[in-house]
């Protein structure tokens, strides 16, 4: 049996992008490597948690010691998260596509079919907001991420209220920071008490600090 401060705790982590089909060979996606989510899932497992790792098609492999649930689309990701409940905590690190193609084609769209394709969109479910607002059976700690390019703390604080989650891990993904797809991260942890800017460090170090904070909150 696992030991560590999170032994006996069940934690859901979403990670990676989602892919939304246009046709059987084409899709719309988000620019996410899945590195921070994988590091976090590994760090939580390292503290003894039973981790359900719900991951879209990511560029990095899942960490050892977690239960991997691979998904493609945002709708599948929501269903997988709901199926993994109940949990003590849920951390939503995935870069979920906001929209899916509502007129996706069952067959490959032909280039020479005459004219250009016209895609129509439907809004995807917001997984973080859906779980945060569960009337019963809500995980006691729900953590979201916010990738912003400016006014990071203000936007993240608004997001905390809008989504109804407990914490937001906010980071600045402006071009030039090298954070998107890079090895390092600089996050601000937003809680009901306010914002706390952490120093720039590797995604693994960020993951370990966040896992330790989660362990403290669930203790």
* CA distances to 7, 34, 140, 161 from 219, in Å: 10, 28, 11, 24
Window of 23-31, 64-72, 138-146, 201-209 that interacts with ligand C5P by CB under 6 A: 138-146
Of 86, 89, 103, 92, nearest to 18 by C-alpha is: 92
Q: What is the Cα–Cα distance from 82 to 92, expressed in whole angstroms?
A: 13
DSSP conformational letter for 113: S
88 annotated as ligand-binding = no
The residue number whose beta carbon is nearest to ligand C5P equals: 127
Q: For 197, what's the count of Cα atoms within 13 Å in the CB-facing half-sphere? A: 6
Bridge partners, residue 54, by sequence:
14, 69
127 annotated as ligand-binding = yes
Q: What is the Cα–Cα distance from 183 to 185, expressed in whole angstroms?
A: 7
Q: How far is the CB of 93 from ligand C5P (least distance, A)?
A: 6
Which C-beta is closer to ligand C5P: that of 45 or that of 96? Answer: 96
Window of 50-58, 143-151, 181-189, 201-209 that interacts with ligand C5P by CB under 6 A: 143-151
190 annotated as ligand-binding = no
Q: Is 146 in the site for ligand C5P (CB under 6 A)?
A: yes
Q: What is the Cα–Cα distance from 30 to 32, expressed in whole angstroms?
A: 6
Which C-beta is closer to ligand C5P: that of 47 or that of 142? Answer: 142
Q: Binding residues for ligand C5P, how many (CB under 6 A)?
A: 12
Window of 4-12, 41-49, 119-127, 207-215 that interacts with ligand C5P by CB under 6 A: 119-127
* Site for ligand C5P, rule CB under 6 A: 14, 74, 92, 94, 96, 124, 126-128, 144-146
| Binding residue numbers | 98, 108, 125-128, 145, 159, 163
């Amino acid at each position: 049996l696992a030991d560590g401060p999170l032994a006996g705790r069940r934690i859901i982590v979403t990670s990676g992008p989602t892919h939304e089909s246009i046709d059987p060979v084409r899709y719309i996606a988000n620019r996410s490597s899945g590195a921070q989510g994988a590091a976090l899932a590994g760090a939580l497992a390292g503290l003894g948690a039973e981790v359900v790792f719900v991951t879209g098609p990511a560029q990095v492999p899942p960490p050892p010691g977690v239960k991997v649930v691979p998904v493609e689309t945002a709708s599948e990701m929501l269903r997988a998260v709901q199926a993994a409940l109940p949990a003590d905590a849920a951390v939503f690190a995935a870069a979920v596509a906001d929209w899916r193609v509502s007129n996706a084609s069952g067959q490959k769209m032909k280039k020479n079919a005459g004219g250009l394709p016209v895609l129509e969109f439907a809004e995807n479910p917001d997984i973080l907001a859906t779980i945060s607002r569960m009337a019963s059976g809500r995980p006691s700690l729900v953590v979201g991420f916010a990738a912003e390019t400016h006014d990071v703390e203000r936007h993240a604080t608004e997001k905390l209220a809008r989504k109804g989650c407990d914490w937001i891990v906010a980071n600045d993904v402006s071009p030039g920071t090298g954070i998107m797809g890079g090895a390092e991260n600089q996050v601000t942890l937003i809680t009901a008490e306010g914002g706390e800017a952490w120093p720039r460090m590797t995604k693994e170090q960020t993951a370990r600090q966040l896992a330790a904070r989660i362990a403290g909150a669930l203790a």
